[in-house]
Amino acid sequence: MALNLESSAFKDMVLVLGATGLVIPAFAALRISPVIGFILVGIAAGPFGLGQLPGLHWLALSSPQSLAAPAELGVALLLFALGLELSLDRIRTMRNLIFGLGSLQMLVCTGLIAAVLYLADLPLPAVGALAAAMALSSTAVGLQLLSASGRINSQAGRRTLGVLLFQDLAIAPILLLIAAGSAKDGGGSFGSSLVIGVGALVGIALFARHAVPPLFLQAARTRRSELFLAAALVVLIASTATAAAAGLSPAVGALTAGLMLSASDYRRQIEAAILPFEGLLLGVFLIWVGSGLDLGAIAADPWPVLGGTAAVLAIKGVATYVLLRVQKARHGVAGHVALMLASPSETSLIVLGAAATAGLLGGDMLQRALAIASLTLALAPLLGMAGARLEAESREDQDEPTPETGAQQTVIIGFGRVGRLVAQMLDMHGQKWLAVDSDPDEVQRLKRAGKRVVYGDARRPELIDKLKLDRARAVVLTIDDMRMLDLLIRRIRTSHPDLCIVVRARDADHASMLYRAGATDAVPETVESSLQLAEAVLVDLGVPMGPVIASVHEKRDELRARIKGSGVTLKRPPLRTLRRSRD
């Protein structure tokens, strides 16, 4: 069958795919969430955008409603991926922050916003939907900013993450209540609708927990990525169809299925399989949302939108700040978290869309709510950066105090499997040590076990000053981030030219680079594993242990000398080598 290149559907598809291909790399280069770009594209391509100008009708979508189906699928994929990220282990580890601070912040912000909306004489169902939508904050923008600044494990980062995780968990109950509320308005029973919805979610959870793993096992055995993607889509479609049949939003079923699969052995492979489609279809959803915004009508009466934007930011920001200060958080940390969480999120748009579908919102009220959510979302990166600046200028020590390094002590930076083995060997020979690790939960667990481990993020330059390495005998670097290792060695060598620096390297080329950076010794994992294999096979063949050990030491010294020699002239590996995946 011939493809009709003149059809309106083909033109709309080209517009959406072309915009998606341009927005993602452009906004990634600017370090801005592409969510904003997609909404702007939707506004420009919508019926109230560029199509109204002479000669630009070809830039307008012929039928924005034709995007509704793929937009709904994009929302389902987003929440499915969100459920996969909400691993049960993470929830258990951070339960105090998630269900303590997170629930309190969500309830306080929702209550305050609802009180203001109620005073505006809005219907109660609309008040509940709007308040819940505006109380949500952007997980995508927040995590992006925290990760880029290296603050994900700081006090501000962990508090922000705890609140965001609770809000992600709260999306399903919010959508469930919206669906049940619409059933009540349609003449049905709220209680029976709620029971049916909960029953459907329990069925999805049981299906995902017990019936799905064998499906992914068979897909994994074929070693074909397209079959793994097909299996993921089967689970997604089955869960969304079940939720829709029970009168719920399909997104609720997708989130439940993802949450149940978060503990699966196939979680990472599922995430990798759906990632390209998730970003593409989420872009379609945001373009569809933007196409419904009439900026002309909003510009004719801008004060409700501008006033609503200021009110939402002020209520959420002030409430979060006060709540954290009551919980003894420092001024800088509280201000940072408050600004990070002040803006609504992309999931706010999902809640507003569900409320519109349920008949709880519509007309000018819906237009203004979408405009407020979109505008505040566009401000989210700026507010996050302002929060980081506020925390930095407050000159407060964000992390727990790091004890001074004792004289004649070895400092181990990175306390994973390699760092722990180094510590065990130091203990065997009566050598003192202090370990530094960036996982705060693991640090607390090791402290309770009596280990001398402190929290510290190697990506932050001030860590070197805190550790007082001038009093240390040696420092051992076991982190596996190649780029960070190079920077860290240079920082330490600049401040402490005579300190012994022993580093874990991936291979001989990486070791040569680290010698150039200033390492005293760089131990390549590939070389050591090869020497251990050679030692094992020689002993198993009957060669006496003494000569074998002597020859292994001789070969190690030879290779070390060769690597050090090449490190003088070896060129730095290209950036793509430094960024290759971890072991």
Whether 317 and 431 share a structural domain: no
CATH number at residue 442: 3.40.50.720
Whether 377 and 414 share a structural domain: no
Whether 215 and 191 share a structural domain: yes
Say how many Å lie between the first and final Cα of the chain, rounded: 48
Residue 9 lies in a domain: no
User: Per mean pLDDT, which range of 147-156, 282-291, 431-440, 524-533 is the poorest?
Assistant: 147-156
Predicted local confidence at residue 320, as pLDDT: 93
Contact in structure between 96 and 444 (CB atoms under 8 Å):
no
* Of 46-60, 224-238, 331-345, 529-543, highest mean pLDDT: 331-345
Q: For all residues of the chain together, what is the average pLDDT?
A: 77
Query: Taking 50 as the threshold, does the pLDDT of residue 401 lie above it?
Result: no
Burial degree of 49 (CB within 10 A; 0-12, 13-18, 19+): buried
- Residue 471's pLDDT band (boundaries 50, 70, 90)? confident
Supply 163's token pair: 């609140």
Query: Taking 70 as the threshold, does the pLDDT of residue 259 lie above it?
Result: yes
Residue 193 lies in a domain: yes
Whole-number Å distance between alpha carbons of 176 and 174: 5
pLDDT by residue (tens digit) across 164-196?
878 877 887 887 788 766 655 554 556 676 777
- Residue 316's pLDDT band (boundaries 50, 70, 90)? very high
Query: Taking 90 as the threshold, does the pLDDT of residue 108 lie above it?
Result: yes
List, edge to edge, every strand of the sheet that includes 500-505.
453-455, 433-437, 409-413, 472-477, 500-505, 521-524
The β-bridge relationship of strands 409-413 and 472-477 is parallel
Predicted local confidence at residue 61, as pLDDT: 73
Whether 494 and 421 share a structural domain: yes
Predicted local confidence at residue 236, as pLDDT: 84
Whether 512 and 566 share a structural domain: yes
- Of 154, 155, 252, residue with least CA distance to 203: 252
Whole-number Å distance between alpha carbons of 186 and 171: 23
User: Per mean pLDDT, which range of 19-23, 215-219, 527-531 is the poorest?
Assistant: 19-23
Query: Taking 50 as the threshold, does the pLDDT of residue 152 lie above it?
Result: yes
Alpha helices by DSSP H, 94-154: 95-96, 103-119, 124-135, 139-149
Which amino acid is residue 107, in one-letter code? L
- Residue 570's pLDDT band (boundaries 50, 70, 90)? very low
Predicted local confidence at residue 318, as pLDDT: 94
Whether 384 and 417 share a structural domain: no
User: Per mean pLDDT, which range of 339-348, 448-457, 497-506 is the poorest?
Assistant: 448-457
User: Per mean pLDDT, which range of 244-253, 314-323, 360-369 is the poorest?
Assistant: 244-253
User: Domains in the chain: how many in total?
Assistant: 2
Strand, helix or coil for residue 521: strand
Predicted local confidence at residue 148, as pLDDT: 58
Q: Please compute the mean of the pLDDT values over residues 454-479 and round it to a whole number.
A: 77
- Expressed as residue numbers, the domain containing 503 is 409-578
Residue 583 lies in a domain: no
Whole-number Å distance between alpha carbons of 175 and 351: 7
Whole-number Å distance between alpha carbons of 246 and 154: 42
Q: Please compute the mean of the pLDDT values over residues 486-512 and round it to a whole number.
A: 86
Predicted local confidence at residue 56, as pLDDT: 66
pLDDT by residue (tens digit) across 405-451?
445 688 888 888 888 888 888 888 888 888 888 776 677 778 778 88
Residue 398 lies in a domain: no
Predicted local confidence at residue 57, as pLDDT: 66
Whole-number Å distance between alpha carbons of 402 and 456: 8
Residue 486 lies in a domain: yes
Predicted local confidence at residue 190, as pLDDT: 60
Q: What percent of the chain has pLDDT over 90?
A: 6
CA angle 55, 57, 62 (to 5 degrees): 170
Contact in structure between 485 and 503 (CB atoms under 8 Å):
yes
Predicted local confidence at residue 115, as pLDDT: 92
Q: Please compute the mean of the pLDDT values over residues 33-61 and round it to a whole number.
A: 71
Q: Please compute the mean of the pLDDT values over residues 258-287 and round it to a whole number.
A: 75
Contacts with 177 (C-beta within 8 Å, 6 or more apart), sequence order: 128, 194
Q: What percent of the chain has pLDDT over 70?
A: 81
Number of C-beta neighbours around residue 515 at 10 A: 23
CATH number at residue 150: 1.20.1530.20
- Residue 270's pLDDT band (boundaries 50, 70, 90)? confident
Q: Please compute the mean of the pLDDT values over residues 267-291 and round it to a whole number.
A: 75
Predicted local confidence at residue 112, as pLDDT: 94
Residue at which a domain ends, from 343, 363, 393: 393
Residue 77 lies in a domain: yes
Residue 229 lies in a domain: yes
Q: Around 368, how many Cα atoms within 13 Å sit in the side-chain half-sphere?
A: 17
Residue at which a domain ends, from 344, 363, 393: 393
Query: Taking 70 as the threshold, does the pLDDT of residue 99 lie above it?
Result: yes
- Residue 14's pLDDT band (boundaries 50, 70, 90)? confident
Predicted local confidence at residue 55, as pLDDT: 64
Supply 577's token pair: 């080598």
Whether 437 and 377 share a structural domain: no
Whether 350 and 488 share a structural domain: no
Look at the block and give the residue holding tokens 């407020």: 372
- Residue 358's pLDDT band (boundaries 50, 70, 90)? confident
Whether 418 and 382 share a structural domain: no
Query: Taking 70 as the threshold, does the pLDDT of residue 552 lie above it?
Result: yes
Residue at which a domain ends, from 335, 361, 393: 393
Query: Taking 80 as the threshold, does the pLDDT of residue 501 lie above it?
Result: yes
Whether 107 and 149 share a structural domain: yes
Residue 547 lies in a domain: yes
Q: Around 254, how many Cα atoms within 13 Å sit in the side-chain half-sphere?
A: 25
Whether 381 and 465 share a structural domain: no
Whole-number Å distance between alpha carbons of 175 and 82: 15
Whether 362 and 417 share a structural domain: no
Number of C-beta neighbours around residue 304 at 10 A: 16
Whole-number Å distance between alpha carbons of 176 and 355: 11
